[in-house]
Amino acid sequence: MATNKLALLRYKTIDQCLKNRFRKWTLDDIIEKVANALYEYEGITSGVSKRTIQADIQVMRSDSLGYNAPIIVTDKRFYIYDDADYSITKSRINDADMDKMKEIVSVLKQLNGFNYFDEMSELIAKLENNVNKSAKKTKNFIQFDDNKKLKGIEHINPLYQAILNKTPLFIEYQSFKALKPSKEIYYPYLLKEHRNRWFLITKRKKASHLHTMALDRIVEFQPLTKEPYVEYEGVDFDRYFNDLIGVTKSERDRAHRVILKFDKKNAPYVITKPLHHSQIILSDNEDGIIIRIDVVLNFELEKEILGFGECVKVMSPRNLQARIKRRIDSAAKHYTEPVTLVDKKIPMQ
C-alpha cells in the first residue's frame, strides 16, 4: 500500500509526539500537533479530524505499512509508545515506497553533473547503494565511513526542520563532563558534521555566546512553537568555520599561522589530502615537506597532529608545540611504567 504525502506527514508527526516523553499526549494534543504540521509544511488551514488521527494510529499499529507500532493508552487518555526506543523511522520501507525511492534515485542520477548538484555525487551513490541493497538483498558495492553504534543520527532531520522553521527547542543535554543532564531552551542555528559525528550550533536562551552540542549527547528535545525565536546576529557561519579544523571554537578565537614539518614518507599523503583548505607548501626536499595552515588552535587540530605520531613536528607557534610535546610525553609514560597486576589480568583475544 503506497503512502501519500499528507498521510506520511501525519504519521511522522504522531511518531514525534509519541517519542517525546517530556509530556503526556492526549488525542486532542496529537490532533493539534498534526494540524500545526499540516499548516506549517503544506499550508492546510482546515486542520485534521479526530477520525483521521484515530485511523492513522490504527494503521501505525498494524502491519499494513510494516510499522507494528507499540502504541498504548495509559490512564485511559494518554498515548505513548510502550517501547521507549521505538520509532517508525526505524521500520523497513514497503515495496511501493521502495519503488518511489528507485524513481527518485533515477532522477537524481540524471541531475548529477549539473553545477547545482556537484556536491551530490557521494549522496546519490550512497542512496542508490542502500536502495539496491534493500530491494535486491545484494551486498554492498560501496562502503562509506559509518559507525553503526553512533547515537544521535535520528535527531538530524527534526533538528534541521527546527533550524529551517526557526523553532526554539527545549533540550535535555548531558555533556561528557556533566554528572547529570541539563534542561534548557536553545535557539538552533546550524548542523555541522566532523569525522562522521554531528553537532548542533546553538545558543542558550539565557546566554549571549554560541554553544556547540554533540548530537550523541542530546538525551531528548521538544520544539517550542509558541516560544519567540532569536536570530543569530553574528558573522556568517561559512566565514565563522572557515578557519577551523573540527567544530570547537569560541567567537573570540582567531586563526594562527601553524607551521608543520612532515617526513618524506608521509609527505605525499599531506600533499594529496590537505589538512585544511588554507594549506600551502613552504618547502619540499629530500627531508620532507614544511606546510603552513591558518587555523584556530583547538582540540581537533591537536588530534590531527598527534595522529601522525613521530612523522610530524610542530615548528610554530610555540604554545602549540609545547602542548603537543606535553601530550606526547604524557602518552610515553604509559609505556615506561612497570606492568601492573591489573594489566596482567587483561585477557588476550
Give 337-349 pLDDT, tens digit per residue. 776 655 555 555 4
Q: How confident is the model at residue 137 (pLDDT cuts 50, 70, 90)?
A: low
pLDDT digits (tens, 9 = 90+) for 239-290: 889 999 999 888 889 999 999 999 999 999 999 999 999 999 999 999 999 9
User: CA 211, CA 213: separation in Å to the nearest integer?
Assistant: 6
The pTM of the full predicted model, rounded to 2 decimals, is 0.64
User: CA 83, CA 110: separation in Å to the nearest integer?
Assistant: 41
Which pLDDT score, from 0 to 100, does residue 52 have?
95
Q: Which amino acid is at 173?
A: Y
Class of domain 5-90: mainly alpha
- Taking 80 as the threshold, does the pLDDT of residue 237 lie above it? yes
Cite the residue boundaries of each domain of the chain with CATH code 1.10.10. Answer: 5-90
Which pLDDT score, from 0 to 100, does residue 258 have?
97
Beta bridge partners of 223: 169
Which pLDDT score, from 0 to 100, does residue 306 have?
96
From the list 104, 98, 100, 97, the residue with the least C-alpha distance to 133 is 98
62-77 average pLDDT score: 89
Work out the angle at residue 159's Cα, subtended by the Cα atoms of residues 208 and 28, and round it to the nearest 5 degrees: 110
Class of domain 153-234: mainly beta
Q: How far apart are the first and last CA of the chain?
A: 49
Q: How confident is the model at residue 155 (pLDDT cuts 50, 70, 90)?
A: confident
Beta bridge partners of 290: 261, 283
19-46 average pLDDT score: 89
Give the mean pLDDT of the chain.
85
- Given a contact cutoff of 8 angstroms between Cβ atoms, the answer to whether 69 and 61 are in contact is yes
C-alpha cell recorded at residue 106: 533515477
Strand ranges, E, within 16-106:
71-74, 78-81
From the list 99, 94, 88, the residue with the least C-alpha distance to 65 is 94
C-alpha cell recorded at residue 94: 514497503
Q: How confident is the model at residue 1 (pLDDT cuts 50, 70, 90)?
A: very low
Q: Which of 1-15, 204-218, 236-250, 273-287 has the highest mean pLDDT?
A: 273-287
Which pLDDT score, from 0 to 100, does residue 91 have?
67
Work out the angle at residue 298's Cα, subtended by the Cα atoms of residues 296 and 300, and round it to the nearest 5 degrees: 115
35-61 average pLDDT score: 90
159-187 average pLDDT score: 90
Q: How confident is the model at residue 130 (pLDDT cuts 50, 70, 90)?
A: low
pLDDT digits (tens, 9 = 90+) for 300-327: 999 999 999 999 999 999 999 999 999 9
Which pLDDT score, from 0 to 100, does residue 153 have?
79
pLDDT digits (tens, 9 = 90+) for 81-129: 999 888 888 766 666 666 777 777 777 666 655 555 556 666 667 677 6
Which pLDDT score, from 0 to 100, does residue 138 have?
58
Q: How far from chain centre, in Å, is Cα 169? A: 16
- Taking 70 as the threshold, does the pLDDT of residue 31 lie above it? yes
Cite the residue boundaries of each domain of the chain with CATH code 2.30.30. Answer: 153-234
pLDDT above 90 covers what percent of the chain?
A: 48
22-40 average pLDDT score: 91
User: CA 132, CA 148: separation in Å to the nearest integer?
Assistant: 19
Q: How confident is the model at residue 206 (pLDDT cuts 50, 70, 90)?
A: confident
